[in-house]
Amino acid sequence: MSEKLIIKGLNPANGEVTISGAKNSVLKLMAASLLAGDKCIIHNVPELTDVEIMLEVINGLGAKTSYDKKSKKVEIDSKNLTNCIAKKEYVSKMRASFVVLGALVGRLKEAKVALPGGCKIGERRVNFHIKGLEALGCECKIDDGYVIAKTSKLIGNTVCFDIPSVGATENVMMASILAEGVTVIQNAAQEPEIVDLANFLKSMGAKIDGAGTSQITITGVRQSELRGCEYTTIPDRIEAGTYMSIIIASKGHGIIRNIFPNHLTLFTGKLLEMGANIKLIDPNTMEVSNDKRLKAMNFITQPYPGFPTDLQALAMALLCCADGISVVTESLYENRFMHIQELWKMGANIIVNKKHAIIKGVDCLVGTQVESTDLRAGAALVTAAVMARGETEIGALNHIDRGYENFVEKLRGLNIDATRVTDTSL
């Protein structure tokens, strides 16, 4: 049965929320565990449908897994990894699972991985992934919806990406761990999740320098030098940004715990520019509040450390009721404005011109029936709903479930009037 989320707007937030482990990090750590040939234990794993899909992918490769949801712990034993095929039925559901490609090539020297799926936010080609693996000595081809990569031996090389790609950086990092010699990734992605992956791999015995900068250097090691490890995932910066937005939208006050503030520096700066109040209580706890109408501002989404594309829709929702005219430019994904058609239903004044959205703030949004078009669009609609007069019904919650753990419970912990119900109209 389909479900929907009902939000009653204009109720100021008042409470606390604790941020879960980073979805965009833990999925990559799970894939990287395949390189160890031993048992890896990962802590701070959020209870998400994406995590369940990644476990299915890994189980299908012959590894043994267990997931203790109460303690947020995943164990992966890849000693008997034998299968190199990641099937369409799993990989097509979630793009992040495509990073098993690099781990399988590194460990087994061959892989057959289905082309990735996930949110339909735009074209996300795999050519950078293939280019990187070919530079390490792989023969790659695409056949019947699969990327097939084979090699007799991986040799370190210099890989230079035309633009920073998170997934391609991760795949090349994982493949090069067991390559002979030194691999240098130039114009590498710099996201905190890249640093987390590098730290996890180093805990296994890998030799990596420069993660978090535009040049990453990997010195290959032998399989016998890798070992299992125990590791704790970083907090989810996008989830933190989501609850910051919701608190501010509600004109309320909230405490956000378990965060790394330096992962949100630019986003926090933009919220302050809009007139929100944000301060650190301690190194991992933030106090967020707002008691007035926000001010318009402009931003362009860019690779980290620029404005995160994953927070673009949430910031746009805030700007729908801000004083003045804002311009939002989406430079990364051509279909990441799908939420605008839903915001229109709520009374937003937005004009779209190719990759630009021009937002003129209105007095108040109005609750109505809307649909999540992708993961972050769903969160943006919740942000809009808390600013709206009346009730907003948000459908297609499967998108939200991919990236937000205990979402309704956390909203209620912030005094947001949120109820999840079965949609009997379908």
Cis peptide before 305 (omega within 30 of 0): yes
Angle between helices 49-60 and 23-32 (to 10 degrees): 10
Q: Is 119 a catalytic residue?
A: yes
- Structure-token pair, residue 372: 């999540």
How many CB atoms sit inside 10 A of residue 226's CB?
Answer: 20
- Longest CA pairwise span in the chain (Å): 64
Residue 10 sits at φ, ψ, to 5 deg, of 65, 30
| Distance (Å, whole) CA 253 – CA 170 | 37
Give the orientation angle of helix 237-249 with respect to helix 375-387, to 10 degrees: 20
Strands 417-422 and 14-18: unpaired
Using H for helix, E for strand and C for coil, what is the string for the chain?
CCEEEEEECCCCCEEEEECCECHHHHHHHHHHHHHCCCEEEEECCCCCHHHHHHHHHHHHCCCEEEEECCCCEEEEECCCCCCCEECHHHHCCCHHHHHHHHHHHHHHCEEEEECCCCCCCCCCCCHHHHHHHHHCCCEEEEECCEEEEECCCCECCEEECCCCCHHHHHHHHHHHCCCECEEEEECCCCCHHHHHHHHHHHHHCCEEECECECEEEEECCCHHHCCCCEEECCECHHHHHHHHHHHHHCCCEEEEECCCHHHHHHHHHHHHHHCCEEEEEECCEEEEECCCCCECCCEEECCCCCECHHHHHHHHHHHCCCECEEEEECCCCCCCCCCHHHHHHCCCEEEEECCEEEEECCCCEECCEEECCCHHHHHHHHHHHHHEECEEEEECCHHHHCCCCCHHHHHHHCCCEEEEEECCCC
Q: Are 120 and 93 in contact (CB under 8 A)?
A: no
Q: Which of 84, 119, 229, 321 is catalytic?
A: 119
Q: Which residues are catalytic?
A: 119
